[in-house]
Structure 1
Amino acid sequence: MNYMLITGAASGIGAATAMRFAQQGWRVGLLDLNGPALEKLKNRLEGDHWSAVCDVTDADSVCEAFRGFSEFSAGRLDLLLNSAGILHVGQFETITMADHANMIDINVTGLMRVCHEAFPLLKATPDARVINMSSASALYGTPHFASYSASKFAVRGLTEALNVEWQDHDIFVQDIMTPFVKTPMVDRQTFKAPVIDRLGVNLKPDDLAKEIWKAHLSKDVHHLVGLQFKSLVLSNKLFPSAVTRRIMTILSH
């Protein structure tokens, strides 16, 4: 029996991924701040699953969640999906420092805290894997997404480092680099970023769930989503960074 643990599981990409893996016979652990939404999701899943309210910014909350999950899974963790994250879109100077700091605390420090707590379970599980939700904005800093972009650069760097470090423990670490996805996190933004208007929001959570399923079967450190983004990555490799900067300037005005 395979066991998966998902942060940010109550909605969006996390919820869609839980549905997909549960349909494939996995037992899924669900973590989120939204307790009622977690219970509603767990009741929709077929099979035996587990959920707990968890705040990834709180060390005690994360520790308690892992104690509970470890009892549920008998100490096994085949796949950790770090999907918890927040987004504030707008001019850098108009976003409060509290909101900037909160993005870093959840998107980066929270993810690190979960990985740190997960390590003993991952190490004890043969062929274990971690998938971190990164972003297309980790390729080149995205205007109006400055702190979010910075947080995803950090996730990309952490992923690359742990991919090398943890191979000695039979743990494969990778990330998903995706353009905009139609999730509550994106829908609730009040600032209309030009880059969103120009590129559109063409992906749905179910699309990402399919990509995550494909990623967990691959050996790609960075799993790129969408032809549009893959083309930009190729352009970034073939041409000077000034070309990517120019593209970002056009898309953001």
Structure 2
Amino acid sequence: MSDLPSFDLTGRTALVTGAARGLGRATALALAAAGADVALGLRDVAADGGLTAEIEAMGRRALPLAMDVLDLKQACSAIDTAIAQFGHLDILVNNAGGGTEGPVEDFPEDEFDFTINLNVKSTFFLSQHAGRHMIARKSGAIINMGSQAGSIALPGEAIYCLSKAAVGHMTKCFAVEWGQHNVRVNCVAPTFIRTDGTAEALSDPDFRADVLDRIAALHRIGEPKEVSGVVVFLASDAASMITGQTILVDGGWTAR
């Protein structure tokens, strides 16, 4: 029935940056499971951990691409390759990100620049590049990977926090300008999720206990599929009236 929401992505194409592991891998698999063909942005195109084969086993096309988001020329070329191979690009997931820790009084300029370039500059210019194609087609969905750190202050992570706050506000700006072209732009902001990237920190019993306490409603560590499911929703027609929003996947951390 036409009045029921559709989460089906059959016939659509997506590109996920930082697809090799963690949330990027989970997102690529979730998009494929929903029916999309997926281009995989990888720093090392030969090291996809079997992701390409796993997507192809679902009956979807997978396209591994060399894509270091700090190299904008290479990254934009990867977007062009995805469009050329798939014929069009419907979904861009700006997942690649990260940063370093340190007190603000001692934070070095080069690490500041690294974090801003990785989280903010790459998101802006990859969205811009893919967005031109989407604007021309009058259709598209961009999902940026933010963080609950964009809504709170985490000691020792001021630069990461401000970079993710910038991603959230950038999302609003793109959405407002591009809504007239039927291009939606949203942000997903997770808490601590069980991935390779968080394993070391969460292995500290005191740190883990503090995180579980701060995840004020559910008191558990999130799983990658609980983030990737939100990405699929935002990419689908079920979210056709949602743009410019940041959806927190934080188990209630920021609710208290």
Which of the five TM-score ranges fits, normalised by the shorter chain? 0.7 to 0.9
Residue 51 of structure 1 corresponds to 64
CA, structure 1 residues 91+164, in 2 after alignment: closer, same or farther (shift >3 Å)? same
Over the aligned positions, Cα root-mean-square deviation in angstroms equals 2.4
Q: Tell me which amino acid in the other structure corresponds to 1:223.
A: I
**What is the identity, as a one-letter code, of the residue corresponding to 2:181?**
H
Kindly report which structure 2 residues correspond to 1:1-253, keeping only aligned pairs within 5 A, or say none.
1-38=11-48, 40-45=50-55, 46=58, 47-74=60-87, 76-93=88-105, 96-188=108-200, 197-200=209-212, 202-216=221-235, 217-218=238-239, 219=242, 221-229=245-253, 231-232=255-256
The SS at the match of 1:124 is helix
Q: Which amino acid aligns with 1:206?
A: K
Aligned length: 231
Corresponding residue for residue 237 of structure 1: none
Paired letter, 1:153: A
- Which amino acid is 2:46 matched to? P
SS in 1 for 2:47: helix
Q: Is the 8 A contact 1:39 1:51 kept in 2?
A: no
SS, match of residue 144 in structure 2: strand
**More helix as a share of residues:** 1
- Please say if residues 77 and 128 of structure 1, whose CA atoms lie closer than 8 Å, have aligned partners that are also in contact: yes
Q: Does the residue aligned with 1:173 lie in a helix, a strand or coil?
A: strand
Give the TM-score, by structure 1 length: 0.82
* Distance in 2 separating the partners of 1:103 and 1:187: 21
Deviation at 1:63, TM superposition (A): 2.5
Question: Take 2:204 and 2:49, find their aligned partners in 1: how far apart are those partners?
Answer: 33
Distance 1:88 1:188 in 2: 14
Shift in CA distance, 174/193, structure 1 to aligned 2, threshold 3 Å: farther
Q: Which runs of 5+ in 2 are unaligned?
A: 1-10, 213-219
Alignment check: 8 A CA contact 1:32 1:53 kept:
yes
Alpha-carbon spacing, 1:229–1:122, altered in 2? closer, same or farther (3 Å) = farther
SS at match of 2:48: helix
- Work out the CA distance in 2 between the residues paired with 1:66 and 1:39: 21
Aligned-pair CA distance for 1:95? 5.1
Q: Aligned equivalents of 1:97 and 1:184: distance in 2?
A: 27
- Counterpart amino acid of residue 248 in structure 2: L
State the distance in 1 between where 2:224 and 2:189 align: 14
State TM-score, norm by structure 2.
Answer: 0.81
1:162–1:86 distance in 2 versus 1, CA, 3 Å: same
